[in-house]
């Protein structure tokens, strides 16, 4: 029987050599062994095919070796970290053991010292008692009554004073040490349950449970399922003026609060100088931190304003939220102007021409978008109106800010005014401004002022004054910022936007803006509903 050569080769090679070898094979008669003739060219092809297969297998072996090496290296790193964890655990156990051994040795020393002291006392008492017993025994042999009586009295006195009769025959301490025995069965069981920690799932922030109040934000979250391996949480937050999901290119960076043990955290004492805040949280176990929660955006809108330096009196030095009396400010500017005027009529004429052709100073507006006013212009307060206004108008809603005066400030006022307040007008002396005034010069007075009418206030001037303005409700109230005690309240109807207003003489004021209306103030406003001890002459004034 003749067998084609393709059945004598491995299946993988049979197709490659089938054609050349099939035509070259020789047949032998039936019953004799079949002999195959393989040409050199075909054999070269077989050798080449085997060599290519060997290269392919070798490359796969190299890949396996590389993978094996990676497994070994990564495993080594993990084992190293595991060793560090166990070394830390061993260290803790060694420290606990050392502490317990020290405690046992200290207890042993204490009891031994107590027993040694008691033993020494007993030996001394016994020695004295035996000596006294021997003396008493010898006294029985005395024949003279007088000597016997004297010895008996001595024995009685010595017995009365003998330490053996005052000595407690009960050990002060016992030999029991079982109170220092330990039972680590629970700890052993706990150690036996050690496993690799899984990666925590992402927490879920609950917007309903979050609270924004009193310039504080409370963020609450929960885990989608219970995870006892969680060690702590990381809360991240940032301010933004965009609603909705956080923007990748938001101009503010995330701020991190680490190592939070609970599922709630309160950020207090915040300055709300942005409309919103973004929050996200992630859970951490002993190994890794999990994924972030879906971010949550909470509204943190509050009134933010600075002092308008362009309209302030020349004797006031203004910087953002601080104003300070400067007695040399106005004089310096006036002397400069007079010096320029005295240089000649030509200069005066050119100055007048420049004044006519220049752009007139705009009125004070609600937002600081106007160009800076020229010093000494009609917009700047002058005369005895040492006043500065805020740069942001209030046109609706409820707002709150606080003012603190320097301790040596002689006189100051805090309130609001229409933007039409004249440059010579003082706060509280017109029907376009409302304020409370503090005077510490010559005599101390504290009063509410409006439309040149004064109401003396029989309360102590607080360190910080809180100002509450309800534009829509027509209410302006002043509070002790610390205790939230109501100082005075105006009830009116605002017909124009109002600006925060401040007057200061011989001293300084500092402002705190970006504040929400405190909860205590909201509660007082609801309960008081404008009912105060204010004089009717200062209230119910419609402009």
Compute the distance between CA of residue 433 and CA of residue 435 in angstroms, rounded to an integer: 7
Whole-model pTM over 0.75: no
Domain boundary among 142, 160, 178: 178
DSSP 413: E
**How would you write 13-44 as a 3-class SS string?**
HHHHHHHHHHCCCCCCCCCCCCCCCCCHHHHH
- 164 and 211 part of one domain: no
Over residues 446-474, the mean pLDDT reads 94
Q: Which residue has the tokens 């060219």?
A: 41
Q: Is residue 77 part of a domain?
A: yes
Q: What percent of the chain has pLDDT over 90?
A: 42
Over residues 509-514, the mean pLDDT reads 93
Tell whether the model's pLDDT for residue 12 goes beyond 70. no
Q: What is the pLDDT of residues 417-454, one digit of tens each?
A: 999 999 999 999 999 999 999 999 888 899 999 999 99
- 84 and 154 part of one domain: yes
* Whole-number pLDDT of residue 539: 54
- 447 and 521 part of one domain: yes
Over residues 206-222, the mean pLDDT reads 93
3-state secondary structure of 519: helix
Over residues 252-263, the mean pLDDT reads 92
Q: What is the pLDDT of residues 155-199, one digit of tens each?
A: 888 787 777 777 778 888 888 888 888 888 888 888 888 887 788
More confident residue, 397 or 142: 397
Q: Is residue 536 part of a domain?
A: no
More confident residue, 236 or 55: 236
Q: How many other CB atoms are there within 10 angstroms of residue 423's CB atom?
A: 15
Q: What is the pLDDT of residues 281-339, one digit of tens each?
A: 999 988 788 889 999 999 998 999 999 998 899 999 999 999 999 988 755 444 444 44
Domain boundary among 299, 332, 354: 299
Burial (CB < 10 A; 0-12, 13-18, 19+), residue 95, is exposed
* Whole-number pLDDT of residue 388: 94
- 391 and 521 part of one domain: yes
- Burial letters for 223-247: b for 16+ Cβ neighbours within 10 Å, e otherwise? beeeeeebeebbbbbbbbeeeeebe
* Whole-number pLDDT of residue 132: 81
pLDDT confidence band for 529 (50 / 70 / 90): low
Q: Is residue 377 part of a domain?
A: no
Over residues 218-225, the mean pLDDT reads 94
Q: Is residue 360 part of a domain?
A: no
Q: Is residue 5 part of a domain?
A: no
- 395 and 522 part of one domain: yes
Q: Is residue 375 part of a domain?
A: no
- 268 and 391 part of one domain: no
* Helix locations, 199-344, DSSP H: 329-341
* Whole-number pLDDT of residue 59: 53
- 92 and 163 part of one domain: yes
- 269 and 171 part of one domain: no
**Domain membership of residue 248 as a residue range:** 204-299
- 158 and 213 part of one domain: no
- 410 and 457 part of one domain: yes
Whichever domain contains 474, its CATH number is 2.60.120.920
Q: What is the pLDDT of residues 232-242, one digit of tens each?
A: 999 999 998 88
Over residues 520-532, the mean pLDDT reads 71
* Whole-number pLDDT of residue 338: 45
Over residues 59-64, the mean pLDDT reads 69
Q: Is residue 469 part of a domain?
A: yes
Domain total for the chain?
A: 3
Domain boundary among 299, 323, 352: 299
Q: What is the pLDDT of residues 120-144, one digit of tens each?
A: 888 888 888 888 888 888 888 888 8
* Whole-number pLDDT of residue 251: 66
Lowest mean pLDDT among 86-95, 189-198, 529-538: 529-538
Whichever domain contains 257, its CATH number is 2.60.40.10
- 285 and 395 part of one domain: no
- 424 and 498 part of one domain: yes
Q: Is residue 495 part of a domain?
A: yes
3-state secondary structure of 249: coil
């Amino acid at each position: 029987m003749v067998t084609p050569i393709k059945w004598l080769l491995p299946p993988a090679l049979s197709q490659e050599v089938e054609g050349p070898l099939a035509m070259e094979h020789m047949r032998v008669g039936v019953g004799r062994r079949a002999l195959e003739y393989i040409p050199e060219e075909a054999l070269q092809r077989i050798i080449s095919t085997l060599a290519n297969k060997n290269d392919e297998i070798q490359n796969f072996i190299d890949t396996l070796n590389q993978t094996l090496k990676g497994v070994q290296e990564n495993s080594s790193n993990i084992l190293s970290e595991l060793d560090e964890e166990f070394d830390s655990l061993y260290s803790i156990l060694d420290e606990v053991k050392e502490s317990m051994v020290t405690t046992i040795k200290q207890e042993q020393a204490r009891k031994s010292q107590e027993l040694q002291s008691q033993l020494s006392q007993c030996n001394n008492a016994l020695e004295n008692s035996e000596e006294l017993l021997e003396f008493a025994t010898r006294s029985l042999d005395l024949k003279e009554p007088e000597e016997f009586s004297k010895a008996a009295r001595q024995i009685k006195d010595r017995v009365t004073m003998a330490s053996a009769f005052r000595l407690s025959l009960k050990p002060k301490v016992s030999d029991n040490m079982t109170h220092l025995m330990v039972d680590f069965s629970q700890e052993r069981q706990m150690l036996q349950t050690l496993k690799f920690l899984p990666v925590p799932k992402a927490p879920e922030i609950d917007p309903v449970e979050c609270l924004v109040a009193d310039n504080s934000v409370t963020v609450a979250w929960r885990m989608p399922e219970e995870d006892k391996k969680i060690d702590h949480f990381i809360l991240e937050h940032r301010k933004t003026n965009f609603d909705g999901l956080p923007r990748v290119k938001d101009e503010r960076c995330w701020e991190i609060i680490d190592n939070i043990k609970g599922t709630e955290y309160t950020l207090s004492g915040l300055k709300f100088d942005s409309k919103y805040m973004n929050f996200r949280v992630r859970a951490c176990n002993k190994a890794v931190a999990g994924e972030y929660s879906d971010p949550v955006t909470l509204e943190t809108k509050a009134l933010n304003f600075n002092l308008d330096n362009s309209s302030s009196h020349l004797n006031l030095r203004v910087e953002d939220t601080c104003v300070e009396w400067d007695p040399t400010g106005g004089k310096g500017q006036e002397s400069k102007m007079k010096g320029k005027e005295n240089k000649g009529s030509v200069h005066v004429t050119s100055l007048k021409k420049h004044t006519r052709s220049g752009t007139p100073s705009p009125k004070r507006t609600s937002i600081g978008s106007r160009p800076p006013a020229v010093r000494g212009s009609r917009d700047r307060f002058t005369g005895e109106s040492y006043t500065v206004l805020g740069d942001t108008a209030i046109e609706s809603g409820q707002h709150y800010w606080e003012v603190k005066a320097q301790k040596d400030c002689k006189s100051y006022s805090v309130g609001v005014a229409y933007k039409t307040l004249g440059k010579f007008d003082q706060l509280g002396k017109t029907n376009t401004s409302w304020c409370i005034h503090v005077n510490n010069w010559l005599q101390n007075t504290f009063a509410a002022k409006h439309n040149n009418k004064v109401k003396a206030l029989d309360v102590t001037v607080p360190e910080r004054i809180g100002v509450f303005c309800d534009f829509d409700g027509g209410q302006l109230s002043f509070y002790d910022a610390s205790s939230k005690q109501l100082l005075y309240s105006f009830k009116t109807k605002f017909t124009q936007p109002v600006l925060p207003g401040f007057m200061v003489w011989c001293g300084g004021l500092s402002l705190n803006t970006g504040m929400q209306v405190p909860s205590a103030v909201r509660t007082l406003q609801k309960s008081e509903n404008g009912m105060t001890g204010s004089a009717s002459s200062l209230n119910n004034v419609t402009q």
